[in-house]
Amino acid sequence: MSSPSADPWVDLRQVTVRYGRVQALDQVTLCIVPGERVALVGANGSGKSTLLRVLGGLADASGGGFQCNARLRQAMLFQRPHMLRTSAQNNVALALWLRGVRWRDARPQALAALQRVGLQGIAAQNARTLSGGQQQRVALARAWALRPDVLLLDEPTASLDPHAKREVEALMADFAASHGAAGPAHPVTMVFSSHNLGQVKRLASRVIYLEHGRLVADLPVHDFFNGPLPEAARLFVKGELA
C-alpha cells in the first residue's frame, strides 16, 4: 500500500469509465505515490488496460475525480509497441526530437539508450525487421531516453518467448531501481499489468486485483500471495480462474 506521508503521483476517487454500454471501470479509488511498483492483475476484461490508459491520460473518466502530479514525466509501453519504418536508432531519436531535443543531439542520446538495453549493435537496422523481444527492448530504450518518472507497461512480456521475457523483465527491474527527470528524490514509479504471477512476485511491491472493472483487492505483494483474499482473487492466484 502507499505511504500516507508521501505526496501522491496520482489520486483516483470513484473513477468510472464507460465505452458505450460497457462499463470498463466501476468506481475505482486508488492512490499511488512515487517509487511504488504496482502490478495490475485480473482476468481478461477486468479493466487492467483501461486503468493504465486512465493513469497515462489516454482515456477519459466518465465519472469520479482524478488528480495527477503533472510535473512527473510519464512513458507508456504497450504489449505490441509501434515501430516506425526506419532504424532502431531513429525510432528512439524521434521520441527525443518530439520532446524538443535537437536532432544532432537526439541521435547520440538514442544510441546511448540502445546501449543501455544491449541493442547498440542493431542501431542501424530497420526496427520493423527486429524480433518481438528486440522491438520491446527498443521501446524500453525509447522510454528510458525520455527519463520518465513514471513507467506504465501493458502486458510488456505477454507475446515474448521465455528468453526475451527474462531480458525485458531484467530491464524493467533495472529501470524501476533508477530515478527519472525529477531527480534522486523521486525514484521511478512503475505500474504494469501482467498475467505472469511469477513476474508479479519478482517485480511488484503492491498488487491490485481487478474484477469486472472493480478494484477488489489492493495489497502489498507478500500479503497478496500469502494472506486471505476475496474468493475470485484466491481462485485467480491458484490458476482456477481464467
Average pLDDT of span 83-105: 96
CA distance 209 to 17: 17
- 6 falls in which pLDDT band (50, 70, 90)? low
C-alpha cell at 17: 469509465
Flag whether 81 is in a domain. Answer: no
Please, what is the angle between helix 132-145 and helix 103-116, to 10°? 130
Task: State in Å, rounded, how far the first CA of the chain is from the last one.
Answer: 26
Flag whether 152 is in a domain. Answer: no
Q: Provide the 8-state DSSP code for 188.
A: P
Kindly give, in sequence order, each residue whose CB lies less than 8 Å from that of residue 209, ignoring residues fewer than 6 positions away: 41, 42, 215, 216, 217, 218, 224, 229, 230, 232, 233, 236
CA distance 204 to 186: 17
| Percent of the chain's residues with pLDDT above 70 | 93
Whether residue 81 contacts residue 136, with contact meaning beta carbons closer than 8 Å, is answered with: yes
CA distance 45 to 193: 12
Flag whether 122 is in a domain. Answer: no
Domain housing 24: 1-73+189-242
- pLDDT (0 to 100) of residue 78: 86
Flag whether 223 is in a domain. Answer: yes
Flag whether 121 is in a domain. Answer: no
What ranges make up the beta strands (E) of the chain?
Answer: 10-19, 22-32, 37-41, 63-68, 74-77, 150-154, 189-193, 206-211, 214-220
Please, what is the angle between helix 132-145 and helix 162-176, to 10°? 10
Q: What is the pTM of this model?
A: 0.90
Domain with residue 19: its CATH number is: 3.40.50.300
Question: Structurally, how many domains does the chain consist of?
Answer: 1
Give the C-alpha distances (Å, rounded to integers) separating 173 from 5, 65, 66, 215. Answer: 25, 31, 28, 25
- 3 falls in which pLDDT band (50, 70, 90)? very low
Flag whether 63 is in a domain. Answer: yes
Does 5 score more than 50 pLDDT? no
- pLDDT (0 to 100) of residue 176: 87
Average pLDDT of span 193-212: 95
Does 125 score more than 60 pLDDT? yes
Average pLDDT of span 145-168: 90
- pLDDT (0 to 100) of residue 4: 43
Helix (H, G, I), strand (E, B) or coil at 209: strand
Flag whether 156 is in a domain. Answer: no
Flag whether 135 is in a domain. Answer: no
Look over the chain and give the mean of its residue pLDDT values, rounded to a whole number: 90
Does 71 score more than 70 pLDDT? yes
CA atoms within 13 A on the CB side of 222: 0
